[in-house]
Structure 1
Amino acid sequence: MQRYFIPAEQFFEDYVLIAGDDAHHLARVMRAEEGDRVIVSDGLAREALVEIREIAKDRVRAEIVERLPMDREPNVEVWIAQSLPKGDKMETVIQKATEIGAARFVPFVSERTVVQLDAKKEGKRVERWQKIAKEAAEQAHRNRVPAVDSPCDWKALLALAQEMDAAWICYEKESGSQLKPALRKLLSGESGEGARKKIMLIVGPEGGFSETEVAKAEAAGCLPVSLGKRILRTETAAMVGLTCILYETGEMGGD
């Protein structure tokens, strides 16, 4: 069944309004008719099965049939901090990690990042990334759409990392710390029972992190971790790390 995220102000007591691109998609692409049912969510606290009552040029009015539970989000909040990769790889990271269950994306520029930021294009780029996250969240039947931040520098990222319950930097030269024991240690902490932990997974560019960057990250409280013996592409590392975290927390059949 089709799912759409709509602004909270379009979600009323007995009905909802679907407007803009979503209304166009319903009417023109899906060729919806009165009586068809879809699922809508405000991405915050309300989700419902609705039945279409009116299809206009720029909006669709639908009656609420049943309120639905908001129970599809992971029990840990994982932020993906991704050094800007070349080409359209960032779009791939956002799309696939949203499907898997990422809560937020923090693009950043590090020492070996090849991509050059263009301030004039940044707004449109972030807007496109956010649209990709929305579409992926709808496809995966998420309750919420992950936020996509504007790109930041290394210093700003480390400041943000200090606000998390844990921040792990994927470092291919790290042989001592593994992701699994780091996660289990975090979840077994004094405040772990019943608390929704916030974890940041930091992934470097195609050329990896410099030793200086890793040292600064450790000084800021980040823990370098390995994702195994094989060297992963930058767009693969985030998806592998995120999947491992959600598996270990029971979101994908783990214990």
Structure 2
Amino acid sequence: MRIPRFYEPSDLSIGETHTLSEAATQHVSRVLRMKAGDQITLFNGQGSEFLCTLARVDKRHVDVDVITHIPLSRSSPLSIHIGQAISRGERMDYAIQKATELGMSCMTPLFTERCEVRLNNERRDKRTQHWQQIAISACEQSLRNELPRIEPIQSLQEWLNDVEADLKLVLHHHTEQPLGDYPRPGSIALLIGPEGGLSETEVSAALEAGFQPVAFGPRVMRTETAPVAAQAVLQYLWGDLS
């Protein structure tokens, strides 16, 4: 049976007794109903994981004894920063979850011309926190020990002005440039438009900012499918998928 795995945003050391955060406590005690003596794995997002034994379990508090430190990073050697146009409901959650599983380093949610989502400042902060939690849960499931960053929402032009990468790509089906023609990059910025696509003005702005148009096959993908398919190809070419 696989040992349950949780994100714990704290410094951990072998030999210490540590009290779990509220989120991990609820999952251990109320969802899984684990007992003292059971084992769990913790990771704190810094590239390591820790094998722990439950020392005390009740509904509001869970203490663990930290037994073993495993310095194991499962991050891809290819850094991928996705600029993702915001989509409605679970589509954005899906894009973040799957992009995290495939090794994304960072995602910046973007407002674009055809984006149908409008958020005030308070709702922006709440959505960003929600999306970061989606990424954390994906790390727990996929055995990642380092968290991808979910950046605050930006306008497309702000992101185009600020993002840096060895290779900048915009998904645009009007191109026949093979990815294999590019030299191996260490970092990639990948721009993905909304359900209605990027406008011609936005594509032109991306090209002026140094982005190269790229298509992943002859079919037009949904906005939540695009980061999954694109990252699979990029990680196969230059990352750690084989």
Whether TM-score is above 0.5 comes out as yes
**Any idea what SS the aligned residue of 2:92 has?**
helix
Determine the structure 2 residue equivalent to 1:98. Answer: 100
Determine the structure 1 residue equivalent to 2:187. Answer: 198
Determine the structure 1 residue equivalent to 2:78. Answer: 76
The one-character-per-residue Cα deviations of 1:193-232 (angstroms, maximum 9, x if unpaired) are xxxx221111011121222222221221111111111111
Distance in structure 2 (CA, Å) of the matches to 1:44 and 1:59: 24
Alignment of 1:1-255 (within 5 A): 1-9=3-11, 11-15=12-16, 16-161=18-163, 163-175=164-176, 177-182=177-182, 185-187=183-185, 197-249=186-238, 251-253=240-242
**Any idea what SS the aligned residue of 2:75 has?**
coil
User: How far did residue 48 of structure 1 move?
Assistant: 1.1
Distance in structure 1 (CA, Å) of the matches to 2:111 and 2:174: 20
Change (3 A) 1:119 1:250: closer
Q: Residue 19 of structure 1 contacts residue 58 of structure 1 at CA under 8 Å; is this kept in 2?
A: no
* Consecutive aligned runs of 4 or more in structure 1 exceeding 6 Å deviation: none
The residue type paired with residue 203 of structure 2 is: V
**Any idea what SS the aligned residue of 1:40 has?**
strand
**Any idea what SS the aligned residue of 1:248 has?**
helix
User: How far did residue 250 of structure 1 move?
Assistant: 5.1
Distance in structure 1 (CA, Å) of the matches to 2:135 and 2:47: 18
Q: Residue 246 of structure 1 contacts residue 252 of structure 1 at CA under 8 Å; is this kept in 2?
A: yes
Determine the structure 2 residue equivalent to 1:193. Answer: none
Distance in structure 2 (CA, Å) of the matches to 1:152 and 1:57: 40
RMSD after superposition? 1.7
User: How far did residue 13 of structure 1 move?
Assistant: 4.1
**Any idea what SS the aligned residue of 2:34 has?**
coil
Change (3 A) 1:84 1:243: same
Distance in structure 2 (CA, Å) of the matches to 1:252 and 1:155: 32
Distance in structure 1 (CA, Å) of the matches to 2:112 and 2:96: 19
User: How far did residue 56 of structure 1 move?
Assistant: 4.1
Q: Residue 84 of structure 2 contacts residue 108 of structure 2 at CA under 8 Å; is this kept in 1?
A: yes
Distance in structure 2 (CA, Å) of the matches to 1:215 and 1:250: 28
Mean Cα deviation higher: 142-151 or 244-253: 244-253
Q: Residue 84 of structure 1 contacts residue 109 of structure 1 at CA under 8 Å; is this kept in 2?
A: yes
Distance in structure 2 (CA, Å) of the matches to 1:21 and 1:39: 15
Normalising by the residue count of structure 2, what TM-score does the alignment of the two structures yield? 0.92
Change (3 A) 1:70 1:27: same
Distance in structure 2 (CA, Å) of the matches to 1:170 and 1:216: 13
**Any idea what SS the aligned residue of 1:142 has?**
coil
Distance in structure 2 (CA, Å) of the matches to 1:155 and 1:111: 11
Mean Cα deviation higher: 53-62 or 94-103: 53-62
Distance in structure 1 (CA, Å) of the matches to 2:202 and 2:74: 36
**Any idea what SS the aligned residue of 1:8 has?**
coil
Distance in structure 2 (CA, Å) of the matches to 1:142 and 1:110: 31
Normalising by the residue count of structure 1, what TM-score does the alignment of the two structures yield? 0.87
Q: Residue 23 of structure 1 contacts residue 59 of structure 1 at CA under 8 Å; is this kept in 2?
A: yes
Distance in structure 1 (CA, Å) of the matches to 2:59 and 2:13: 20
